[in-house]
Amino acid sequence: MSKNALVSFTGNKHISTEITLTGSKSECNRALIISSLSKGLVKVDNVSDAADTVTLNNILNNISHDSPHQQTVDVGPAGTAMRFLTAYLSALPGKFFLTGTERMKQRPIGILAEALKAIGADLSYAQQEGYPPLLINGPLQQSTDTVKIKGDVSSQYLSALLMIAPMLQQGLTLQIEGELTSIPYVKMTLDMLEEAGISHSWNDNSITIKPQSFKPAVLAVEPDWSAASYWYSIAALAAEAQIDLPYLKSKSLQGDSRIREIMVAFGVGTSKTDKGIAITKTGQNFSDDILDLKDCPDLAQTIIVCAAALKKNLTFTGLETLKIKETDRILALQNELSKIGVMLTEDNLIYTLNCDKLNFPDRVSFKTYEDHRMAMAFAPLSLLINEVILEDMDVVEKSYPDFWKDLQKAGFTVKEI
């Protein structure tokens, strides 16, 4: 039976603390794939302890590269691992059955799988067309050096292909169709490949990586800006806040570092320190502009819940990919925000908060839908609600295992119930 967290905050709501965040899951998962492709030439420093990264690291360390038998590779709920391994295993010699949780089997993989098949991968769907689990018989026999792929579904499809490109006989050119979602994550992949000695060219909608060898390098993983976003929300909802976040860089590879700019309107300022950054409570400065989150969709839940709590009827775009994440995050937000009287409505891909009936009950229970970001986005509401219950508290281990411990360090009370 899953454990729930009862979160509360008593006292003057003045938060002063230092929080050392785990390594970025996004950076680390890419670094581990690159390291494995380089056959150890590329080392990884500050490996994340996020459950998804632990899963990927264990898989990469335990795959046999010379087994004549089919190997089962189970990623559990790790979506990034599923996408990256689909490409990675296609490039390896061997037979693989790539699977995951029941929810993973509902998350589409067809765009990536069909792109791999188009360049010569021997890959098929074991159950439902376009979805995991997959049967992979590698290595792929490359038939073309160019493939077309949609850019508006998941940037992880592109990153998965880009990381195996240098080891393909003909290299690879990705021709991106439509608008590219989450550009910073594609740039992150290319920057990390470059650190490992792999060059690329990017002209208009085409990215080309020629066949080339990795060079010795150390990829140092920065702390996770996605995890930092919850502390920005806490600062916005607190009466006063001074929160130090060591080792975060003012210039980051991570697209979610955009939280610094977004949260200025919410009354949270960011300053550089000798150790990293500090965030402090300032004055709110909201505008009527539509907030486009297509480059940082993992921030959406944090920002939307925080705006709702501040009774701001904000409008958002760029949320299309939220429906194929750990859960349908749009539906999950609509369900849970309704418990505090807030509506999130959709009109032709434009999403608007209506907070006119916002109310804070004395006690409220929020479902998490097996989604780590739901738990962490709603937990800061305990600054405004006497008792907040988050169902399935262990779900945070997916990306931020120390979340509850760090909340307690900041003065929150967290009880298992």
Catalytic-labelled residue, pool 224, 244, 256, 298: 298
Rounded (5°) CA angle 212-215-216 = 160
Query: How many CB atoms sit inside 10 A of residue 327's CB?
Result: 21
262's tokens: 């977004």
408's tokens: 């307690």
> What does the alpha-carbon distance between residue 225 and residue 62 come to, in Å, rounded to a whole number?
29
> What does the alpha-carbon distance between residue 97 and residue 272 come to, in Å, rounded to a whole number?
47
Rounded (5°) CA angle 262-374-408 = 85
DSSP letters spanning 220-261: EPPB-HHHHHHHHHHHHHSSEEEEEEET--SS-S-GGGGHHH
> What does the alpha-carbon distance between residue 179 and residue 76 come to, in Å, rounded to a whole number?
30
329's tokens: 């995050």
Answer for the pair 123, 115: CB distance below 8 angstroms, yes or no: no
Cis-peptide into 139, omega within 30 deg: yes
> What does the alpha-carbon distance between residue 193 and residue 171 come to, in Å, rounded to a whole number?
14
Q: Is 298 a catalytic residue?
A: yes
> What does the alpha-carbon distance between residue 400 and residue 379 come to, in Å, rounded to a whole number?
13
List the catalytic residues: 298
